[in-house]
Amino acid sequence: MICLIICFCSFCRYHPDKNANDPFAADVFKEVTFSYNILSDPDKRHQYDTSGFEAIESVSQELEVDLSNLGTVNTMFAALCSKLGVPIKTTVSATVLEEALNGTVIVSPLPLGQLIARKVDKQSAHFYSVEITEREAQMGVVCRVCSADKSKFKLLYFEQEENGLSLALQEDSIKTGKVTSAGMFFLRFPVYRFDQSHSATIAKDPDAKFFKKLDGFQACEVNELRAGTHTFAVYGDNFFKSVSYTIEVVCAEQFSAEKEMLQDVEAKILTKRAELSKFETEYREVLARFTEMTSRYAQEMQAIDELLKERNAIHASYTSIPPLKRNSSSSKMSSAFNGSNGEEECPTKEKKSKDEKKCRDPKRKKWFKIHLKMDKRKPC
């Protein structure tokens, strides 16, 4: 518990939003993220306790946790860290995958082209079966899920095994406008997914984040479906509440124009990704040159000020007064000025001090009390 509190405090202290362009804070933030990944996973924590860091394979610095295995406190910390922008990557509950593999899940039929609205509990899944004909498979099939309340969920695709279902594809929901959505596009040509958290995880500064932004644009593993029965699922990925969603599977036959537009825009994105790589090299060179010029600008400004100061001193040397006398005369003038001010104040101060001394001197006060007798008989 104490370790998790320390991790959370470190999350807040070294978060990139509070430490922009700070490589040290970025490195510490990644270390804290990795530490939380170990502390929140019982298996990884046991591996660390027995064999240290060497027993833990860290391919990336993203958190990948099964929320169903976390207690209330750990789930709360994970939710707070996610709100702070920590890329916490969640996995599908092992219980859900095991039930699907054993064939004990309830699968509801989903007619093609029909929109269904439902609500799924957190860390639970709704399974749907879709019948696809040969013609529909040739024209392409699209499955999309949306959540109007911006809930987190996963769209899953399962392949039929001997006794159950095996997870083959997974798409996490992303924010698209006023909703969160996820989709799978089986259009018989290469389509791409865009992982927006990829650039945020590996980038240490805003420039790197920009140039790495399209690195998360990767090709999907499956581009087409065969005729037959296919199984999709919606998994609730919220931390505490259930997920309201709509799911729809449509044939792409009536979306021929959209298919061409999708191919065109994704081709442009691929071209732009290649251009960004080249542009980054040019940008870094120009930025280094700009930094050099900025430093030179400050140096030149300082040099000019020093030269002008030296010039003014030379101008002041054109006089008949010798240098020593000039210095002494200037010092005399300043001392005379100070002395005149002092003389004006001196009488007042001196008189005041004498009066105070008379009042304070007990002997002088005693002298006034001496009784003097004069003999009138003696002539003066």
Residue 55: per-residue pLDDT = 46
CA distance 112 to 106: 19
Token reading at 247: 């799911």
CA distance 3 to 40: 10
CA distance 229 to 80: 41
Cα angle 175, 196, 270; round to 5: 115
Residue 31: per-residue pLDDT = 64
- CB burial string 39-63: b at 16+ within 10 A, e below: bbbeebeebbeeeeeeebeeeeebb
pTM equals 0.60
Concatenating the DSSP letter of every residue in 39-68 gives HT-HHHHHHHHHHGGGGS--SSS-EEE-GG
Query: What domains sit in the chain, N to C, each tagged with a CATH number?
Result: 2-89 (no CATH), 93-201+213-271 (2.60.120.380)
Residue 210: per-residue pLDDT = 85
Residue 7: per-residue pLDDT = 57
| pLDDT tens by residue, the chain, 380 residues | 445 555 556 655 655 555 666 666 666 666 666 666 665 555 555 555 555 544 444 444 445 665 665 556 565 655 555 555 555 677 888 889 999 999 999 999 999 999 999 999 988 999 999 999 999 999 999 999 999 998 999 999 999 988 899 999 999 998 888 999 999 999 999 999 887 765 555 555 678 888 888 888 888 888 999 999 999 999 998 877 899 999 999 999 999 999 999 999 999 999 999 999 899 999 999 999 999 999 999 999 999 999 999 999 998 888 887 766 666 655 555 555 555 555 444 455 455 555 555 555 554 545 455 555 555 555 54
